[in-house]
Structure 1
Amino acid sequence: MNFWQKITGSDMTKEFKAFESRANKLPADYQTAWEKIKANLWPHADLTGRNLMPILDGVLGLLEEAAADGQRVHEVLGDDLKGFCSALAGEEGAITFRDKWRQQLNHTIAKKLGK
């Protein structure tokens, strides 16, 4: 990846398109689960989202293998999809970029107030 690709994110766009084409080949219930997984993982992304690329690739591989084996989505992912995604992104309560910004803002305000 060169500097221009890193700045513009064009490398990630190509990867996302590849992910979506792979996901479109899955059964409908797996596609629904894929959309929910993406929605639950984005809060754990860094500013660019690059940290999620290997995680998304691994999850999509898991879904492809499970679909090929004939398993149901519920058997693979379980009842707690949000917990599954939190476990993928790190551990429960992992700090997201929003949490970092909130901490930074609180620290700056406390500093200005002299505390």
Structure 2
Amino acid sequence: MSGFIEKVVGDIGDKKRWREYEQRVEALPAGRRTAVEALQRYLLHRGAITKGDVLVDLHLELVGVFERASSDGTPVREVLGADPVQFADTLLSRYASGEWIEKGRRRLVDAIARAEAQSGSRS
């Protein structure tokens, strides 16, 4: 029964971790909070992560970077570098296993392998 409930409402542990993330973001100084919220928007649109635990891990890492930078006094631009999109895409690339496209990539590779086997050719 609990498996059915998780499918309907999602994993409770992931929801608790997400709330923790939101509280940590709220505790950041205004400029850093604005940067994290902007990155969050981009990551959610760009990433298309379908695994809840992977999504939460990504965002917990993100807020952790900004918490450390805040305690060290590191400016936002120094954290992000010259290109915030590159920063976000690099961060996202470490969590690619949670993206929906990964399933599509595996399907494509498997389909091509089947096509080769059916044609009797490996070239």
Normalising by structure 1, we get a TM-score of 0.69
Percent of aligned pairs sharing the same letter: 28
Shift of 1:100: 6.8
Q: Deviations over 1:22-70 (max 9, x none)?
A: 1111110100011111112113133244322222111111110110011
Q: What is the root-mean-square deviation of aligned Cα atoms in Å?
A: 2.9
Unaligned ranges ≥5, structure 1: 105-115
Distance 2:103 2:37 in 1: 26
Matches within 5 A, 1:29-40: 29-40=31-42
Matched, 1:77 2:80: yes
Larger radius of gyration: 2
Aligned to 2:113: none
Give, as a single letter, the amino acid of the residue that structure 1 aligns with 2:3. Answer: F
Distance 1:64 1:10 in 2: 25
| Segments of 4+ moved more than 6 angstroms | 98-101
Shift of 1:88: 1.0
Distance 1:61 1:4, change over 3 A: farther
Distance 1:63 1:26 in 2: 8
Please state which structure has a larger fraction of its residues in helix: 2
Distance 1:40 1:100, change over 3 A: farther
Matched, 1:68 2:71: yes
Normalising by structure 2, we get a TM-score of 0.65
Distance 1:12 1:5, change over 3 A: farther
Shift of 1:4: 5.6
Distance 1:63 1:76, change over 3 A: same
Matched, 1:23 2:25: yes
Matches within 5 A, 1:73-112: 73-90=76-93, 97=100
Number of equivalences: 102
Unaligned ranges ≥5, structure 2: 108-123
Distance 1:27 1:5, change over 3 A: farther
